[in-house]
Chains A and B, each alone.
Chain A
Amino acid sequence: MREGRTTIVHTLALMVPFLVGTGFLELASRAGWVESYLLPAPSAVVGTLWTDRVEFLAAFQDTGYSALLGLGVAVAIGTLLALVFSLSEWLERALYPYALFFQTVPVVAVAPLLVIWFGFGRPTVVASSAIVAFFPVLAGGLAGLRSAEPSLMDLFRLYGASRGRVLVGLRIPSAVPQYLTGLRIAAGLAIVGALVGEFVGGGGLGSVVDVAKTQQRVDKVFGAVLLATLLGFLATLVMGRVETWARRRLS
């Protein structure tokens, strides 16, 4: 009962800035304070979303699917590397600096190269998405694997546990919270990466933005941007749920 009420209050608190913001934009647009070619009225954006709903829905699914694949690739590689690095300090020293490259790589700049390597279409989009989503997985996983309590580590050592046993019995369980935080960040980034990939590789909401921009359709650009943010919001929401669930199970 109490929890239900808190959820309602939270939802309301979330809605207030949204309603005030869109209300103000709508007013500013109707009153002619801002020109519609600079900032379209929220009602115009909603109208466009409805008129072109078939195109928008297909693009939404397309981008969502690519981002999911990109996140999958990032999680697979990031997790594997985090495990390997946690087992071998030597390998970590040799390879981690190169992994850092992925944190700083300006994906916008390398995106045209991705097209040359992977060709047009989904492979480029997935690659772009994976590149930006990869690092938080690795960093979160590695920091988590390192976070095992020293006293417990000593205990495992005292009983003569092997490296593998320490990993499975202690390190991995204590890594979960930070690993999941990394995953949540990665999920949002995967969508940004997919959009950038779509600008050069084609498909999804990225293409919708590109076409709309070319045709000076600001309302449509904003519609696509809105859907992209919604996608990010959903991703973060799902990952947040997974995190809460995992934490509860662990404690």
Chain B
Amino acid sequence: MKLFSLGLFLVTSLGAFAAPSDLRLTLNWKPEPEFGGFYEAERIGAFQAEKLAVKIQPGGAGTPVPQMLAAGQTEFGVLGADEVVTARARGLDLVSLFAVYQSSPHGILVREERGFKTLADVFGHEGQLAIQRGSAMALWLEKKYAPVKVKLVPFTGGIAPLLKDVNYAQQGFVTSESLLAKRQGAAVRTFLVSDSGFDPYLAVVAVRGDYLRKNPELVKAMLRALNKGWVSYLKDPAPANLIMGKLNPTIDAATFAESAKVQIPFIETAATKKSGLGSMTVERWRTLVEQLRAVKIIDKDVSPESCFATLK
């Protein structure tokens, strides 16, 4: 038992040797305007002002942020609200702190040539739809627009097949893939998934429950820094875009700028003007829990109150 704990300790501490005092903020995607406020907080020294050493770790497809948080491989992680609920149902004690996207920019991209008017058209016609299988979004849309005529196929990222095949549709962010498709000359129409009633908070910063209980002051300081970063980024995204552009050269400067502009209504809403950027309500979490139960991703109740914390 002792030997086993020692082994486990050695394994888990390997990552920590790099920089023992750094707090890690792990993203679930590459640097994009979606995370602009985080990089801006770093740039303007908002973390230092709170005496925090924060290391932003970009992610990619399949970065297991919920498990990394639960296992202590990262102190802070960015993920979707639906993942937080699912994690809690599976016994992972994750708590959301700050929701960058108040409304989901998830969309279904289709070629303009097909003349579709609504989301229902996408599902009611033959063709292919690339979507993350098993995701809450996919299950929700399948249920809502049943009987589904379109063939659901795996989503592997990018927009190459959409440019090639007229009868192909795919998931994507209006703030990202839609812009890239237009830039590459495709006439693309995007239907927001939130119009179907499924609208989880996205780009949510979360921590482990016991980490929050043990370090409330540190977490509050982190939130102040993140807020400062986002306020500054919304005012002028150009400097942080430059930094992110170097880290993620697959997106050109013009798309960075456009994306930062397009995402503003998803970040600044009537609710955030009242209660601050990133703020969340229990009603929204309750709706999400109900929806996840309806599509059977979770089979037990999760208390909406337990999913997030409002620290003042």
Contacts and interface: CB of A to CB of B under 8 A. Distances in A.
B154 A215 contact: no
B183 to A, nearest CB: 20
B128 A120 contact: yes
A141 interface: no
Contact of B154 (A37, A38, A202, A213): A202
Contact of B133 (A36, A211, A217): A211
B77 interface: no
Contacts of B190: none
Given A210-B134, A213-B62, A216-B83, A35 B70 contact: yes
A120 B128 CA distance: 9
B91 A211 contact: no
Interface stretch (B1-9, B37-45, B274-282): B1-9
B161 A115 contact: yes
Interface residues of B, number: 31
Contacts of B64: 213
A200 B62 CA distance: 13
Contact of A214 (B128, B132, B161, B164): B132
B106 to A, nearest CB: 14
B134 A215 contact: yes
Pick from B71, B134, B297 the residue with the most CB of A within 10 Å: B134
Interface string B88-120: 001110000000000000000000000000000
Given A120-B153, A216-B66, A216-B87, A33 B1 contact: yes
A214 B133 contact: yes
Interface string A27-38: 010000111111
A112 interface: yes
Interface in B107-157: 128, 132-135, 151, 153-154, 156-157
A116 B161 contact: yes
B134 A211 contact: yes
A185 B98 CA distance: 50
Nearest to A202: B154
Contact of B90 (A37, A200, A202, A214): A37
B160 interface: yes
A216 B161 CA distance: 28
B239 interface: no
A199 interface: yes
A155 to B, nearest CB: 57
Interface in B54-76: 62, 64, 66-67, 70-71
A115 B90 CA distance: 33
Contacts of A232: none
A214 B135 contact: yes
Nearest to B153: A120
Contact of B156 (A33, A200, A212): A200
Interface in A193-246: 199-202, 207, 210-218
Contacts of B1: 33
B70 A202 contact: no
A84 to B, nearest CB: 35
Contacts of A212: 134
Pick from B91, B153, B297 the residue with the most CB of A within 10 Å: B153
B133 A210 contact: yes
Given A28-B4, A120-B154, A215-B297, A38 B134 contact: no
Nearest to A31: B1
Contact of A202 (B83, B87, B135, B153): B153
B197 interface: no
Contacts of B87: 37, 216
Contacts of B62: 213
Contacts of A38: 67, 70-71
Nearest to A214: B134
B158 interface: yes
Given A37-B92, A202-B153, A216 B86 contact: yes
A28 B4 CA distance: 9
A210 B157 CA distance: 14
A116 B67 contact: no
Pick from A112, A201, A210, A214 the residue with the most CB of B within 10 Å: A214
Contacts of B157: 112
Contacts of A37: 66-67, 70, 87, 90-92
A50 B189 CA distance: 44
Task: Sort A-B residue pairs by CB-CB distance and give the 7 closest, nearest first.
Answer: A211-B134, A214-B134, A120-B153, A112-B156, A200-B156, A202-B154, A211-B133
Interface of A: 28, 33-38, 111-112, 115-116, 120, 199-202, 207, 210-218
Interface of B: 1, 4-5, 8, 62, 64, 66-67, 70-71, 83, 86-87, 90-92, 128, 132-135, 151, 153-154, 156-158, 160-161, 164, 297
Given A214-B135, A215-B86, A218-B90, 5 more contacts: A120-B153, A120-B154, A201-B154, A202-B153, A216-B90
15 contacts: A33-B5, A34-B8, A37-B90, A37-B92, A112-B156, A115-B161, A120-B151, A199-B154, A201-B154, A210-B134, A211-B133, A211-B134, A216-B92, A217-B90, A218-B90
